[in-house]
Amino acid sequence: MSELKLMKGNEALAEAAIRAGVDAYFGYPITPQSEVIEYLMTERPEQRTGMVVLQAESELAAINMVYGAASTGKKVMTSSSSPGISLKQEGISYIAGAELPAVIVNVVRGGPGLGTIQPSQADYFQSVKGGGHGDYKLYVLAPASVQEMADFVEDAFKIAFKYRTPVLILSDGLIGQMMEKVNLKEQQKRLTDEEVITLNGDWATTGKPTTRERNIVTSLDLQSEKMEARVHRLMKKYEQMEQEDLRYEEFQTEDAEYLFVAYGSSARIAQKAVKLARDKGIKAGLLRPITLFPYPKKILFDLANQVKGILSVELNAGQMVEDVRLSVKHKVPVEHFGRTGGIIHTPEEVLEALEQKIIK
Amino acid sequence: MNVLDIIKPENQVFCKSKLMTDTTLSYCPGCGHGTAHNLTMEVIDELGICEDTIGVAPVGCSVLAYDFMNIDMTQAAHGRAPAVATAIARTWPEKYVFTYQGDGDLAAIGTAETIHACNRGENIVIIFINNGIYGMTGGQMAPTTLEGMRSSTSPYGREIKTMGSPLKITELISNLPGVYYVTRQAVHTHKHARKTKKAIKKAFENTRLKKGLSFIEIVSNCNSGWKMTPNESNIWMEEHMFPYFPLGDIKVNGILK
């Protein structure tokens, strides 16, 4: 049965993972996402559903545990925050290269380096442009509420298994830490080992029966032609994601003359700025990318025919604005407004930035 | 022992295991990897656990172990095999999970994963090939390179003062309570190979009994990296490696010898 609760974003995500029938979580504490593993340990999911939860010795170990469990066809996830995700990049590249399904959560804090423990969106480049070594992309989902922290877990696993690819839930310290009401879905059953074998037995390493060839999970192709074919296969997946699984939300764009583009926390603030603008007689609208890869390039290109200018609102020094500019192809002015250091912009500041940088 | 005894299946050391593929081994002629692979596959075959075994291949010379072992295998990033195996064993607790790792993989870049998987007492088998050198990368110094031993990154011989002492990681992990069985063996003679096979069998039986972690170090040669003939390398190994890495059981049934 579904259930209405008041929860932190990190807790909602953890509870949703148990209810989504996830088989295993491997993590390592780091602010501002430690509540994920703390909640999981408190809830004893091993007793509730049989879900394995283990605190690894490091982020490197945690992501490689994810790789290990994913290689056997299980539903496995991890979470961390910016410096921890940097440590996980090696493993993420291997998971992408070996074409394994897995869900990785980044509750972003400010950087570079140890940075700050306050919210940030400064991991945009790292998330959507690769992050680790090699030619690969992550499917990136950006929640903007506690409800979406919960809902996106199941969505992420559907994509992860559809494409056999790592999926990133790109949250931030604001959504991870804030409390909101959340409607939790009813408990799903975890797949039995037999069901895992039936569903994933054609590729997963579950032990070789005499009835099939051995399954090998690897990201290694020493023959150049084979390696190139693997990269092409990955690129094809990414094209398919763009065709079939692109997600975005429009807010008052029908008659908009000015457009905000923002995701996650910034999108909620920009939504309020749209209202403030409209109160002043400025026809503003908001495009909120929900998937940051694939990116809603076409809808942005189309909206650029209608608006006079676009402001990319981000909690960083200017990262997504590059993708906005690439999408609109110089049709209209595109500017960036962002705060860093863990400072959250107010709706008033966002509106002021629109007036100063775009409307002038 | 008469001829009939020698050719009894239980006394055969060198026949190819049914669980070895027909792929040509990529190892240098004279290298111990082939024997260590074969013994592992023989044990899995004899125990009848192929359907329930998942191997984890490392980075290094044995990165392609899955090409030769006809079982399900996952290839891990450098040093991370114990973490990968941990997750497999935790999510499939009825399976037999083993890692196959070299000295660079297990005792250098993967030290943390090795120690912590051992300390948690994961119900897995770790097979550790120690040849004192980075073979595949081209003969660089390993944590287990002996004092005075030359490599491409210790061209004048390993100097303790600047490069540290050869790491006895096997002794180190044997002190951890989660580690149930630790032994050091070799595969360069049939006598040693048979002992190693017994050790591997015992390790997989420990997994069946859910006793925790079993760790088998195999001191092996690297005739290419050491720039010797196979025979010379085996003699050198006996004279130099074995005194520093003495063969035999270190911990049995959870009790240090």
Q: What is the pLDDT of residues B14-68, one digit of tens each?
A: 789 999 999 999 999 999 999 999 999 999 999 999 999 999 999 999 999 999 9
- DSSP element (H, E) containing B33: helix B33-47
Token duo for residue A337? 């407004």
- CB contact, 8 Å: A96 with chain B? no
Contacts of A48 (CB under 8 A, 6+ apart): A18, A187
What is the amino acid identity at position A34? S
**Rounded distance between C-alpha atoms, residue A292 and residue A168, angstroms:** 10
Task: List the structure tokens of B176.
Answer: 């951890």
Q: Bridge partners of A102?
A: A166
Give me chain A's average pLDDT, please.
97
pLDDT value, residue B120: 98
Mutate to test the interface with A, among B72, B99, B109, B208 (most CBs of A within 10 A): B72
Looking at the predicted structure, is the pLDDT value of residue B255 above 80? yes
Closest CA to B92 of A203, A71, A214: A71
- Residue that the structure tokens 């074409």 belong to: A99
Pairing state of beta strands B248-252 and A139-141?
unpaired
Mean pLDDT for chain B overall:
96
> Mean of the pLDDT values across residues A100-124?
97
What is the rounded distance in angstroms from the CA atom of residue B13 to the CA atom of residue B61? 23
CA–CA dist B77, A133 (Å, integer):
13
Structure tokens at B46: 């004899």
Distance CA A110, CA A126 (A): 13
Which residues of B fall within a CB distance of 8 Å from A219?
Answer: 75
Enumerate the residues of chain B whose CB falls inside 8 A of the CB of residue A58. 112
Q: Which residue from B minimizes the CA distance to A222?
A: B64
Residue from the list A65, A90, A98 with its beta carbon closest to the beta carbon of B87: A65
What one-letter code names the amino acid at A210? T
Q: What's the pLDDT score for residue B9?
A: 77
State how far the Cα of B49 lies from the Cα of B40, in Å rounded to an integer: 12
Spatial CB neighbours of B172, under 8 Å, sequence gap ≥ 6: B115
pLDDT digits (tens, 9 = 90+) for B107-140: 999 999 999 999 999 999 999 999 999 999 999 9
Give B105's DSSP letter: I
Structure tokens at A96: 């992408």
Closest-approach residue (CA) in chain B for A205: B72
Q: Which residues have a Cβ under 8 Å from the Cβ of B140 and sit 6 or more positions away?
A: B133, B134, B151, B152, B153
Q: Is the peptide bond before A294 cis (omega within 30 degrees of 0)?
A: yes
Predicted TM-score (pTM) of the model is: 0.97
Cβ separation of B56 and A68 shorter than 8 Å? Answer: yes
With 80 as the cut, is the pLDDT of residue B7 above it?
no
Residue-wise pLDDT for A162-216, tens only, equals 999 999 999 999 999 999 999 999 999 999 999 999 999 999 999 999 999 999 9
Mean pLDDT on A53-79: 98
Instruction: Test A205 with B72 for CB contact under 8 angstroms.
Output: yes
Q: Which residues contact A212 (CB under 8 A, 6 or more apart)?
A: A201, A202
Residues of A in contact with B74 (CB under 8 A): 67-68, 71-72, 98, 205, 216-218
Taking only the tens place, the pLDDT of each residue in A49-60 is 999 999 999 999
Tell me whether A194 touches chain B (CB under 8 Å).
Answer: no
> A138 vs chain B: nearest CA distance in angstroms?
19
Are residues A286 and A274 in contact, defined by beta-carbon separation less than 8 angstroms?
A: yes
Q: Which residue of A lies nearest to B112 if distances are taken between CA atoms?
A: A57
Distance separating the N- and C-terminal Cα atoms of chain A: 53
Who among A74, A90, A208 is closest to B91 (CB)? A74
The sign of the dihedral angle between the CA atoms of A333, A127, A34, A59 is: negative
The complex's ipTM? 0.96
Is the confidence at residue B10, as pLDDT, over 90? Answer: no
* Segment among A26-30, A142-146, A178-182, B8-12 with least mean pLDDT: B8-12
Q: pLDDT tens digits for A118-152?
A: 999 999 999 999 899 999 999 999 999 999 999 99
Amino acid at B124: I
Best mutation site among A46, A58, A72, A89 for testing chain B: the one with the most B CBs within 10 Å? A72
Share of chain A above pLDDT 70, in %: 100
Q: Which of residues 135-174 of A touch B (CB under 8 A)?
A: none
Q: Are A341 and A118 in contact (CB under 8 A)?
A: yes
DSSP-assigned states of every residue in A117-141: SSB--TTHHHHHS-SSSSS---EEE
Whole-number pLDDT of residue B5 = 82
CB neighbourhood size of B8 (10 A): 9
pLDDT value of residue B4: 83
Q: Which of A22, A66, A67 to mutate to test the interface with B (most CBs of B within 10 A)?
A: A67
**Across the interface, which of A66, A206, A220 has its CB nearest the CB of B63?**
A220
Residues in chain B closer than 8 A to A216 (CB atoms): 66, 72-75
Contacts of A54 in chain B (CB under 8 A): 86-87, 90
- Phi-psi category of residue A331: left, alpha or beta, with phi > 0 → left and psi -120 to 50 → alpha: alpha
8 Å CB contact of A208 and B63:
no
Listed in sequence order, the residues at least 6 apart from A33 whose beta carbon sits closer than 8 Å to its beta carbon are A10, A79, A80, A81, A105, A107, A176
Mean pLDDT (whole number) for B206-224: 98
Give the Cα-Cα-Cα angle B130, B135, B136 (nearest 5 degrees): 130
B66–A216 C-beta distance less than 8 A: yes
* Residues of chain A found within 8 Å of residue B111, distances taken between Cβ atoms: none
Q: For residue A90, give the nearest of A148, A132, A141 by alpha carbon.
A: A132
Mean pLDDT over B195-222 rounds to: 98
Question: What mean pLDDT do residues B93-97 have?
Answer: 98
What does the DSSP 8-state code read for residue A188?
P
Could you read off the pLDDT of A203-234 as tens digits, one per residue?
A: 999 999 999 999 999 999 999 999 999 999 99
Report the percent of chain A where pLDDT is more than 90. Answer: 99
- Residue A68 contacts B where some CB pair is shorter than 8 Å: yes
Q: Which residue has the tokens 């250098």?
A: B108
Cα nearest neighbour of B49 on chain A: A207
pLDDT at B13: 60
Q: With an 8 Å Cβ cutoff, are A54 and B86 in contact?
A: yes
| Residues in B lying within 8 Å of A, measured between beta carbons | 50-54, 56-57, 63-64, 66, 69-77, 80, 83-88, 90-92, 95, 112-113, 116
Q: CB distance from A55 to chain B under 8 Å?
A: no
At residue A265, the pLDDT reads: 98
Does the beta-carbon distance from A207 to B50 stay under 8 Å?
yes
Helix (H, G, I), strand (E, B) or coil at B121: coil
**8 Å CB contact between A260 and A270:** yes
- Is pLDDT of A11 > 80? yes
Phi, psi of B89 (to 5 degrees): -70, -35
Q: What residue in A sits closest to B48 (Cα-Cα)? A: A209
Taking the Cβ of residue A91 and every Cβ of chain B, the question of whether any pair is shorter than 8 Å is answered with: yes
Question: How big is chain A by its Cα radius of gyration, in Å?
Answer: 21
By DSSP bridging, strand B53-57 and strand B96-102 are parallel
Task: Find the mean pLDDT for residues B221-228.
Answer: 96
